[in-house]
A and B are shown apart, each in its own frame.
Chain A
Amino acid sequence: MSTLEIRDLHVAVEDKQILRGVDLTVRAGETHAIMGPNGSGKSTLAYAIAGHPKYTITGGSVLLDGEDLLEMSVDERARAGLFLAMQYPVEVPGISVSNFLRSAVTSVRGEAPKLREFAKDLKAGMDALSIDPAFAQRNLNEGFSGGEKKRHEILQLELLKPKIAVLDETDSGLDVDALRVVSEGINRFRGTGDTGVLLITHYTRILRYVKPDFVHVFAGGRIVEEGGPELAEKLEAEGYAAYTKDAA
């Protein structure tokens, strides 16, 4: 059973302090939602855990099953079982989706999947997320619509089978049908029971499909309140005014 432990994490971007002491533990079988105003540092938390070079850790620790993630390179973290679905997936020219996915699966599993097996898994994964098979031959994220990019992130989640998934606004920009399809993908991933999810969102509508165990309010680079699913409803009704005043 896996555990992601974030302790007193401080992170700066270009000398600007963004995270100011984040404490959070995500265990296998749990789903945590993080909600908070724009600019409060949610994506910064996600990127810092994944190891994006733009973010400088100025204090604290992040452990995955007791191992120090912050000591690892970006790809080592992914191979250790961490996955980040990005708020803005990057377009990479000249690399086809299928080549990319095969390279990623090979790296994470430590051996190349059998070609036929991989083709079958890919097809099943794409079907389940209503992704047109033609996407396999397209360049990675290039010219994908916002919603198509998000589906493609969840396809990767299902193929790579990480221990802990951080989903940064995977629900933003999805139409009603896509939201359902993507939520089902996340639920299949959660369904095994031995994976943990950290879901960053602005909306309760995804939380109706993907029920969180815990809801955290993020403001001013920290978690300022924690509660159960009912907290999300309250936030949607009342907004963040109470917390942003606190943080300021």
Chain B
Amino acid sequence: MGLNEKPLSTLHEKSSFNLEDFDVPSGREESWRFTPLSRLKGLHKGTAAAGHITVTVDAAPEVTVETVGRDDARLGQSFAPADRVSAQAWNSFEKATVITVPREAVASKPTVVTLTGSGEGAAFGHLLIKVEPMAEAVIVLEHVGSAVYADNVEFVVGDGATLKVISLQDWNDDAVHVSQHHAQIAKDATFKSFVVTLGGDLVRLSPSVTYTAPGGDADLSGVYFVDAGQHLEHRLLVDHSQPTCKSNVDYRGALQGQDAHAVWIGDVIIRVEAEGTDTYELNRNLILTDGARADSVPNLEILTGEVAGAGHASASGRLDDEHLFYLQARGIPYDEAKRLVIRGFLGQLIEKIELDELRERVFAKVEAELAR
């Protein structure tokens, strides 16, 4: 049960589409206690002034892209908001983007969704990515510019389908972003998510996963680099309610500078029905300087006696002197040795991105961050 007041398995009971069902967070709630509310620019209170986000989609020819109104019946089928800001986004967005990968289609290139913020004022969004049975696609979400943005993103992965998502939070330094990513995974479907959070003053991203049938497989990876003053928070929830599904969570971050703050929450529930579940979650933080702080809280709640595997680990530490010494002893200057070790630490995860071009892009972004 960890630090939660109530068992994880009851968390969803609080989910709702009604804003009134959520109190304005005070910061004392378990789910808000790490987040500096004063920096949310009113997103949690509904007091933020209206702003704007531009959504553009460069789609693979096999997929369809629609911009739809609030009343589109397909929206909100896979999830219900689990916190106040998610509910605020649900009640405030004007247009949603729906991307559909038709049955058995194999997208021939990644579909890139670029979300560009243009300054002050709050914007709200909704995105639905629907991958129909036996289809395959790669989706890139790229967040750039300055924004105060809250959104919900639904990934609906059909029977036997495969969806790979890369979400880049590459905001300007002043951005505030609170986002719920929900993946609903059908029979024998595969969902792979890779989150890269580098920019923003405050980013709070909550990826969650549910399964609707046996055989689902979710792989959730993330890398983040937290600079002085940044608050980058990732809150994962994997809810195993079906037999023989898999989940693997691996998030890694590096922190540098005064008041660099990373938060990682990894909640995994294995319900009574979820026999044969195989799950592992891991978070590692590399703390590069004094004044940086990482809060890392894995919670694993197992309600069945029949699991195939269940584990979690969390480790935060400094750069290893022995690594640096070895590289320096070969003539490599300290700063470069440090960069190589950090790049190696994050790179072991980035290597998992299968598409060369995307992997190189992510590497390039991380390199640029390290060179700053």
Contact A78 B345 (CB under 8 A): no
Partner pick for A95 among B322, B329, B334, B341, CB 8 A cutoff: B341
Contact B336 A103 (CB under 8 A): yes
Contact A94 B326 (CB under 8 A): no
Contact B326 A86 (CB under 8 A): yes
The docked-state distance in angstroms from the alpha carbon of A166 to that of B202 is 50
Q: Write the residues of chain A forming the contact surface with B, with a CB cutoff of 8 angstroms.
A: 50-54, 73-75, 77-79, 83-84, 86, 89-90, 92-95, 99-100, 103-104, 107-108, 139-140, 156, 160
Contact A75 B348 (CB under 8 A): no
Partner pick for B330 among A54, A93, A156, CB 8 A cutoff: A156
B366: min CB distance to chain A, Å: 12
B219: min CB distance to chain A, Å: 19
- Chain B, 323-367, CB within 8 A of any chain A CB: 323, 325-334, 336-337, 340-341, 343-348
Most chain-B CB neighbours within 10 Å: which of A86, A93, A95, A156?
Answer: A95
Contact B329 A100 (CB under 8 A): no
Partner pick for A75 among B322, B331, B341, B344, CB 8 A cutoff: B331
Contact B329 A74 (CB under 8 A): yes
List residues of chain B with CB within 8 A of the CB of A93. 344-345, 348
The docked-state distance in angstroms from the alpha carbon of A103 to that of B338 is 12
Partner pick for B343 among A73, A79, A94, A139, CB 8 A cutoff: A94
List residues of chain A with CB within 8 A of the CB of B337. 75
List residues of chain A with CB within 8 A of the CB of B71. none
The docked-state distance in angstroms from the alpha carbon of A96 to that of B340 is 10
Nearest residue, chain B, Cβ from A82? B329
Tell whether A73 pairs with B330 under 8 Å between CB atoms, given A90-B323, A92-B344, A95-B341: no
Nearest residue, chain A, Cβ from B347? A94
**Chain B interface main SS type:** helix
Tell whether A92 pairs with B327 under 8 Å between CB atoms, given A73-B334, A103-B332, A103-B336: yes
Nearest residue, chain A, Cβ from B343? A94
The docked-state distance in angstroms from the alpha carbon of A53 to that of B328 is 11
A118: min CB distance to chain B, Å: 15
B304: min CB distance to chain A, Å: 34
Contact B330 A160 (CB under 8 A): yes
Contact B334 A90 (CB under 8 A): no
**B30 interfacial by beta-carbon distance below 8 Å:** no
Q: List 17 A-B contacts (CB under 8 A).
A: A51-B328, A73-B328, A75-B328, A78-B329, A78-B330, A86-B326, A92-B323, A92-B326, A93-B344, A95-B343, A103-B336, A104-B330, A107-B330, A107-B331, A107-B333, A108-B331, A139-B344
